[in-house]
Chains A and B, each alone.
Chain A
Amino acid sequence: MNKIVKFYHEMGSPPSFYRITGYWLKPFFVLALALTVYGLIDGLFFAPPDYQQGDSYRIMFVHVPAAWMSLFIYAIIGVCGLIAFVWRMKVAEAVMMASAPIGALFTALTLLTGMLWGKPMWGTYWDWDARMTSELILLFLYIGVMGIYSAYDDDPRKAARLAALVAIIGLINLPIIRYSVEWWTSIHQGASISLMGGNSGIKDWSMLRPLLVMALATKFYYLYSMLHRARNYLLRTEQNKSWVMRQLTEQ
């Protein structure tokens, strides 16, 4: 059997998923920690201040990676939801449900850091700008996925299938929300407050570097945290299976 195909099949089975990912946890954690420490020190002390915003732009090194993660994790949840719903793979269910709270936290972090930055820069914590509104609706999508799962707590398989369905529906909705909300603000003639509209502008490398490092750090943190949760999820939902007994008695 092809090595990649073999790996794919191993990752699809809860016992081997549990065994293999056990080796990954520590490296991912160390990488996440090291990159966070490096990225924050670089971003907070060595990156030059912005010519308009001074030092307050530095919250970007947390805000932008968190915003990226909030969308990235929802995409993962949607894809895992599709796999879980169509092929009923338990590992996909585990990854989906393990990702949801992390994604929701990154979304909340994005909103929080954005608000903290908004007060000194825009003079207000909140404005119904397209980006903020879509991010807030993204948080509702996460809450919906977690809410439907916890509502059916007596039957985890069914709960996961329904949560997968909600995630898939939300995935279809994601681009609609983003565009419609853009049209909506264009009607309202909102102040042009998107000073940091994406990373389209050319950035100083010494500013870009901590941002990219922090983006990597959040990726590794996500992998570490998600795998940890997914492993626990599998232990809990498969608790009557013999591999769980073996796993727990060995340790």
Chain B
Amino acid sequence: MGMKFWVLLQRDVLVAWRKKSNIYQPLVFQLLIVTMFPLGLGAGAQTLQKIAPAVVWILALISTLITLENIFKDDYEDGSLGLYVLSGLPLPVAVLAKAGAHWLTTGLPVILFAPVIAVLLHLPGYAYGVLMLSLLMATPIFSLLGTVGSALIMNLKNGGMLLSVLIMPLLAPVLIFGAGAVLETTLGNNPNGHLALLAGCFVLALTLAPLAAAAAIKVNLE
């Protein structure tokens, strides 16, 4: 089982690596959108600093959101999804491998890119650690919930909007705790409570999301 898990993970990372636009597109998207904020607000450093925790977080969220649709779409269309089901690997474990690969190719770059966005928005220096830590816990949640959303809409033509509607209510608490932790830090408060709750969300997503996604895949393939 472990072997098959790693094979699937490696394959997915390799596929993403061969088509590098998958990896840098979310980052370019973030850069484009963050440029709009100073232009639209016409504001100085102080205003930007105030909204920085929320903007960095929302950008990380949205740039991940636009990549979720394709987690299962290609596999469904070329039939490899059926092979995962037949491979003997429990479907939730296969989903976990897909989520892991998605995180490595989307979540990790987003985390590493977050300081760049944060600098552009004048986030105070002492908040970077918490920002990275909160994103480190939250981006796996995006990928895990993304498998659920993607499994629900994988055979629809224009499912992107529907996917957002489906998982946005699930992501709301994650955003509240994550952006909240960074905000608390910039205000000079202790962010540990928010971070602990974020960790709780992560564990919940890790245990439940693969089951839900596997159930959705089974319904879609039957």
Interface contact B169-A177, CB-CB below 8 Å: yes
Whether B168 sits at the interface, judged by CB under 8 Å, is yes
Shortest CB distance A12–B (Å): 21
Q: Which residues of B contact A187 (CB under 8 A)?
A: 180, 183-184
Q: Is B220 an interface residue (CB 8 A)?
A: yes
Q: How many residues of B contact A (CB 8 A)?
A: 27
Whether A151 pairs with B156 at a CB distance below 8 angstroms is yes
Contact A148-B166, Cβ < 8 Å, known A162-B152, A165-B152:
yes
Q: Does A172 contact B (CB under 8 A)?
A: yes
Residues of A within 8 A of B176 (CB): 180-181, 183-184
A176 interface contact, C-beta 8 A: yes
The verdict on A41 contacting chain B, using a C-beta distance below 8 Å, is: no
Find chain B residues with CB under 8 A from A67 CB.
Answer: none
Q: Contacts A166-B152, A169-B148 given; indicate if A151 touches B159 (C-beta within 8 A).
A: yes
In the complex the two chains form, is B172's CB within 8 Å of A177's CB? yes
CA of A184 to CA of B194, assembled, Å: 10
Binary contact track A60-91/B, C-beta < 8 Å → 1, others 0:
00000000000000000000000001000000
Interface assignment of A14: CB less than 8 Å from any CB of chain B: no
Contact B173 A177 (CB under 8 A): yes
Shortest Cβ distance from residue A101 to the other chain B in the assembled complex, whole angstroms = 15
**CA–CA, A26 and B206, complex, Å:** 49
Nearest neighbor of B193 in chain A, beta-carbon distance: A183
A residues near B219, Cβ cutoff 8 Å: 158, 161-162, 165
Digit string of B155-185 for contact with A (CB within 8 Å is 1, else 0)? 0100100100110111011001100100110
CA separation between A144 and B166, bound complex, in Å?
5
For B168, B169, B183, the residue with the greatest tally of chain A CB atoms inside 10 Å of its CB is: B169
Of A46-54, A92-100, A135-143, A201-209, which stretch is located at the interface? A135-143
Nearest chain A CB to B130 CB, angstrom units: 15
- Residues A169 and B183 in contact in the complex (CB < 8 Å), given A143-B165, A151-B162: no
Interface size on A, residues (CB 8 A): 27
Q: Is B216 an interface residue when CB atoms closer than 8 A count as contact?
A: yes
Decide: B169 and A173 in contact? CB cutoff 8 A: yes
In the complex, chain A residues whose CB is within 8 Å of the CB of B216: 162, 165
Cβ-defined contact, B162 with A147, below 8 A: yes
Q: How far, in angstroms, from A140 to B169 measured CA to CA in the complex?
A: 7
Contact, CB under 8 Å: B208 / A162: no
Identify the interface centre among A151, A169, A176: most chain B CB within 10 Å of its CB.
A169
Q: B153 contacts the other chain (Cβ, under 8 Å)?
A: yes
Chain B residues with Cβ below 8 Å from A172 are: 208
CB distance from B23 to the nearest CB of A (A): 29
A170 at interface by CB-CB < 8 Å: yes
Contact of B169 among A137, A162, A184 (CB under 8 A): A137
Query: Knowing A162-B216, A169-B148, A187-B184 touch, does A144 contact B153 (C-beta < 8 A)?
Result: no
What's the Cα separation between A142 and B180 when bound, in Å?
Answer: 27
Distance (whole angstroms) from the CB of A140 to the closest CB of chain B: 5
Residue of B nearest to A152 (CB): B156
Nearest CB of chain B from residue A62's CB, rounded to whole Å: 25
> Closest CB-CB distance, B184 to chain A, in whole Å?
7
A196 to chain B, nearest CB (A): 24
Q: Which residues of A contact B215 (CB under 8 A)?
A: 85, 165
Is the pair A148, B162 in contact by a Cβ cutoff of 8 Å? yes
Nearest Cβ on chain B to A85's Cβ, whole angstroms: 8
Segment 175-199 of A: residues with Cβ below 8 Å from B:
176-177, 180-181, 183-184, 187
Sorted nearest first, the 4 A-B pairs with minimum C-beta distance are: A180-B173, A184-B176, A144-B166, A161-B219
Can you pick out 14 interface pairs between chain A and chain B where the beta carbons lie within 8 Å of each other? A85-B215, A143-B165, A144-B166, A147-B162, A147-B166, A148-B162, A148-B166, A162-B216, A168-B212, A173-B173, A181-B172, A183-B176, A183-B197, A187-B183
